Amino acid sequence: MIAFSMEEHKVVDNFKWLNYEHNYLEKLRQKFRLNSLINNQMDDLQIVEVVMKWVSGLWEHNGENEPRHSDPLFVLEEVSNGKQYRCVEYAIVLNGCLNALGLYSRILSLKTKDCETREYGAGHIVVEVYIPKLEKWIMADPQFNVVPYINKTPINAAEFALNKNRSVQIKPSFKNDFSYCNWLRPYLYYFTVNFDNRVNDKRSYKEKKQLMLGPINAKIPTVFQRIQPIGDVQFINSLKAFYSDPRAL
């Protein structure tokens, strides 16, 4: 079983998000009619689940296709023309849409313990969203339309890693006896987010300074799948630093 630190830890940079009124988010809201997906009676968790379900149904997963640009508007426009993309693009679109609806969300890169030496399939990309009413971050996987729960409370990716499969509830039912928990479990070792979460930036999320959470005594990875440099990353073991309240930053 892996373990993390509960101590305070100072991070090297500030977390950033686009202002709700930014032109890019306004264009995203208007062009894809995001406000029509929700209503005033929904709480933040319901908004996450409704928008994620919409994003999840936009295309069939294609793990080999990578878009020319990695921003939600471009991906949505390409999907409207029949393109299909990876888990990365599901996360990019959901993250952008939730930001456009006023929620703090971020792309979360999950990596296996052997991510340096594994040639293929060493990572998965999801989203985490801050829910003020719960005072916590929760995980949302738009490729599979999944928000994991424990005892009717949604959980984040680290909580998923720290609890056994039988404790975690997954709402959707999958065909062919597919176990989402068993499938995801190997990826729940390294957790990486950007400090800069502004969705209209032209740089890829991989090119930004990142914060990586790893277990106590874990090796700090420097490459991904043998050949891809990890990049500019601060490595920590602290859950408090990784899951700090974005409203206080």
pLDDT per residue as tens digits for the range 58-72: 999 999 999 999 899
**Distance in angstroms (rounded) separating the CA atoms of residues 74 and 205:** 15
Let me know if residue 200 belongs to a domain.
yes
Domain that holds residue 205: 23-248
Let me know if residue 5 belongs to a domain.
no
Let me know if residue 214 belongs to a domain.
yes
Number of domains observed in the structure of the chain? 1
3-state secondary structure at position 39: coil
Let me know if residue 15 belongs to a domain.
no
Let me know if residue 18 belongs to a domain.
no
Strand ranges of the sheet holding 210-213, from the earlier edge strand across to the other edge = 136-140, 123-131, 105-111, 190-194, 210-213, 233-236
The residues that bridge with 110 in the sheet, in sequence order, are 124, 191
Question: Token pair of 30, please?
Answer: 């208007």
Residue pLDDT tens, the chain, 249 long: 899 999 999 998 999 999 999 999 999 999 999 999 999 999 999 999 999 999 999 999 999 999 999 899 999 999 999 999 999 999 999 999 999 999 999 999 999 999 999 999 999 999 999 999 999 999 999 999 999 999 999 999 999 999 999 999 997 778 778 999 999 999 999 999 999 999 876 665 556 799 999 999 999 999 999 999 998 899 999 999 999 999 986
Q: Give the pLDDT confidence of 148-189 residue by residue, as tens digits.
A: 999 999 999 999 999 999 999 997 778 778 999 999 999 999
Residue 197: give its domain's CATH number.
Answer: 3.10.620
The whole-model pTM stands at 0.96
